[in-house]
């Protein structure tokens, strides 16, 4: 599998940054997959004289390990790292050669202090846009500590392993032979899980002018606009980027023809770093209390005081809330067709939901799955006509209307789904291997209880300035009763809330 001209050009530029020569130690045989790996490695080595290939026997074939002249490396790819993983491969080369990873000094110290052996294996698909975050995090850990190894495994090359381990979602991380975690994660979260959460106590003598809760487009916009007004800003965010991190392609952000969710999230983070914004990551707020000032309690018990608050906690994919969904999550129940779709190649699957996201998922999944059944609760599909027309051209997509999903069933993995025909009340059973839930968004507002006024859907009710039912507390983005849930609208509402906060502080507080 050879590099195209664009990738060759990108790779050539990066190779000038290598600090040491690289040895790619490959384990190959006569199989077709080994030929693909060898073609890839031959292409790589032909571009740079600093990279040579040697063959040896590794635990998986085909695979290759990244070594240097000075040491045997701790990073292995049992994959042809193209697609979303090409960046992971390039970074692994650079960091193995001595280029310092761009992580915080605190995280670096925590990694280097690990004195136990940790052998990580991450199962990925090349179409998974959230897998690189996990791969790159574990590769960095393997570079910084010789007690840690990491192998990236493409499920398409090692289908028997996928089946034997009952892996039905990517990324899935194994640690020392046992399942460790699945889904998006960060270095900080991995470290918290293997060495314990770091103990930090936030203590400030003065309250912040504004606290932003949430790190997505609305939260980032709020923080930047507030900082530009000269306000002291603190952000509390589980993840900077929010739901954008799980978005593959973005083509409706005005002024940007095309980008991808993780790239936009990184751009938001970079933009915030241009200002004096304190960011508390991997934390959420569990409680708000307002007297003259507003006190926020974090999930780790820390407390932060601010003169005003902007809530921008966004939304998440809505669950179907039927028996079997929770039990079979990552065992046949999935929410990301781009990530997990390849694991259902030549299998029958269902998509719950007939809106835009559901029909887009069905079209995408029809490329690899044998049959896709779309279950729509209403008498007609809600997706745009252009998507419905495209779907109708796919012979392996079947649509069932007035279908109320009642149960997802199986043993160790999903094997079937039951639904009720809402016209006849008759129950029908479908045999299948996977279920993709695509039924819209639910606001992340449960933690507020009834502290603020909400819509029947749980959205925070705001006025035209973004203010909630309590003075000094504002909200923005997908967690509010905004008519439309779009990135560009969330950014605008974040800016509106920040400008409103500046006006509120000017009228109610002496600087």
Q: Which residue has the higher pLDDT, 284 or 8?
A: 284
- Chain segment 92-138, per-residue pLDDT in tens: 999 999 999 999 899 999 999 999 999 999 999 999 989 999 999 99
Q: Give the per-residue pLDDT at 247.
A: 82
What's the pLDDT band for 201 if we cut at 50, 70, 90?
low
Which is nearest to 63 in space by CA: 156, 157, 145, 169?
A: 157
> Could you say which architecture CATH assigns to the domain 210-315+442-508?
3-Layer(bba) Sandwich (3.50)
Task: Assess whether 336 carries a catalytic annotation.
Answer: yes
Task: Assess whether 29 carries a catalytic annotation.
Answer: no
Which is nearest to 470 in space by CA: 237, 310, 298?
A: 310
What's the pLDDT band for 331 if we cut at 50, 70, 90?
very high
**Average pLDDT, rounded, for the chain:** 94
Task: Assess whether 133 carries a catalytic annotation.
Answer: no
Q: Give the per-residue pLDDT at 197.
A: 73
Question: Which residues make up the CATH 3.50.50.60 domain(s) of the chain?
Answer: 210-315+442-508, 333-439
Q: Give the per-residue pLDDT at 284.
A: 95
Q: If you average pLDDT over residues 130-157, what whole number do you get? A: 97
Q: Give the per-residue pLDDT at 461.
A: 98
pLDDT(203) > 80: no
Q: Give the per-residue pLDDT at 205.
A: 66
- Burial of residue 29 (number of CB atoms within 10 Å: 0-12, 13-18, 19+): exposed
Q: What is the DSSP letter of 411?
A: S
| Cis before 468 (ω within 30) | no
> Could you say which architecture CATH assigns to the domain 333-439?
3-Layer(bba) Sandwich (3.50)
- Chain segment 431-442, per-residue pLDDT in tens: 999 999 999 889
> Could you say which architecture CATH assigns to the domain 5-195?
3-Layer(aba) Sandwich (3.40)
- The rounded percent of the chain whose pLDDT value lies above 90 is 86
Which of the following is catalytic: 131, 133, 238, 339?
339
- Residues 138 and 108 sit within 8 Å (Cβ to Cβ): no
Which of the following is catalytic: 133, 340, 364, 478?
340
- Chain segment 446-463, per-residue pLDDT in tens: 999 999 999 999 999 999
Q: If you average pLDDT over residues 387-401, what whole number do you get? A: 97
Question: Which residues make up the CATH 3.40.30.80 domain(s) of the chain?
Answer: 5-195
**CA distance linking residue 183 with residue 441, whole number of Å:** 19
3-state SS of 222-260 is: HHHHHHHCCCCEEEEECCCCHHHHHCCEECCECCECCEE
**CA distance linking residue 39 with residue 352, whole number of Å:** 40
Which of the following is catalytic: 209, 336, 478, 479?
336
- Chain segment 23-80, per-residue pLDDT in tens: 999 999 999 999 999 999 999 999 999 999 999 999 999 999 999 999 999 999 999 9
- The rounded percent of the chain whose pLDDT value lies above 70 is 98
- Residues 68 and 23 sit within 8 Å (Cβ to Cβ): yes
């Amino acid at each position: 599998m050879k590099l195209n001209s664009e990738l060759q050009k990108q790779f050539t530029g990066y190779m000038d940054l290598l600090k040491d020569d690289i040895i790619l130690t490959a384990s190959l045989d006569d199989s077709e997959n080994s030929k693909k790996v060898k073609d890839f490695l031959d292409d790589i080595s032909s571009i740079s004289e600093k990279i040579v290939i040697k063959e040896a026997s590794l635990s998986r074939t085909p695979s290759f390990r990244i070594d240097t002249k000075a040491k045997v490396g701790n990073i292995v790819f049992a994959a042809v790292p193209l697609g979303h993983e090409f960046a992971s491969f390039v970074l692994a080369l650079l960091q193995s050669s001595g280029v310092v990873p761009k992580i915080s000094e605190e995280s670096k110290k925590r990694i280097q202090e690990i004195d136990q052996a940790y052998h990580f294996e991450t199962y990925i698909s090349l179409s998974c846009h959230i897998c690189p975050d996990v791969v790159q995090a574990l590769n960095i850990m393997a570079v910084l500590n010789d007690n840690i190894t990491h192998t990236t495994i493409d499920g398409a090359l090692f289908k028997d392993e996928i089946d034997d381990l009952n892996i039905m979602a990517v990324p899935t991380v194994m640690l020392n032979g046992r399942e460790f975690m699945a889904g998006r994660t960060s270095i900080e979260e991995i470290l918290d899980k293997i060495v314990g959460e770091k103990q930090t106590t936030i203590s400030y003598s003065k309250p912040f002018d504004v606290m932003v809760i949430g790190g997505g487009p609305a939260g980032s916009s709020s923080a930047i606009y507030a900082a530009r007004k000269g306000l002291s800003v603190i952000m509390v965010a589980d993840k900077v980027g929010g739901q954008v991190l799980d978005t593959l392609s973005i083509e409706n952000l005005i002024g940007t023809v095309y980008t991808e969710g993780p790239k936009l999230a990184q751009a938001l983070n970079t933009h915030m770093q241009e200002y004096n914004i304190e960011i508390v990551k991997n934390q959420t707020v569990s409680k708000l209390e307002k007297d003259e000032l507003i006190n926020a309690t974090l999930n780790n018990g820390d407390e932060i005081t601010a003169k005003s608050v902007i809530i921008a906690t966004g939304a998440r994919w809505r669950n179907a809330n039927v028996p079997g969904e929770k039990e079979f999550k990552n065992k046949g129940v999935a929410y990301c067709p781009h990530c997990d779709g390849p694991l259902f190649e030549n299998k029958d699957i269902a998509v719950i939901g007939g809106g835009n996201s559901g029909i887009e998922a069905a079209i995408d999944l029809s490329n690899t799955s044998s049959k896709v059944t779309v279950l729509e609760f209403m008498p007609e599909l809600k997706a745009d006509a252009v998507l419905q027309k495209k779907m109708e051209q796919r012979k392996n997509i079947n649509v069932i209307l007035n279908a109320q999903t009642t149960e997802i069933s199986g043993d160790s993995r999903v094997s079937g789904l039951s639904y009720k025909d809402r016209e006849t009340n008759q129950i029908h059973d479908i045999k299948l291997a996977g279920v993709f839930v695509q039924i819209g968004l639910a606001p992340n507002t449960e933690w507020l209880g009834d502290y603020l006024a909400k819509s029947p859907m749980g959205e925070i009710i705001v006025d035209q300035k973004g203010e909630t039912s309590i003075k000094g507390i504002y909200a923005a983005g997908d967690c509010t009763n905004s008519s439309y849930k779009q990135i560009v609208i969330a950014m605008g509402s974040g800016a509106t809330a920040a400008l409103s906060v500046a006006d509120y502080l000017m009228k109610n507080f002496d600087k």
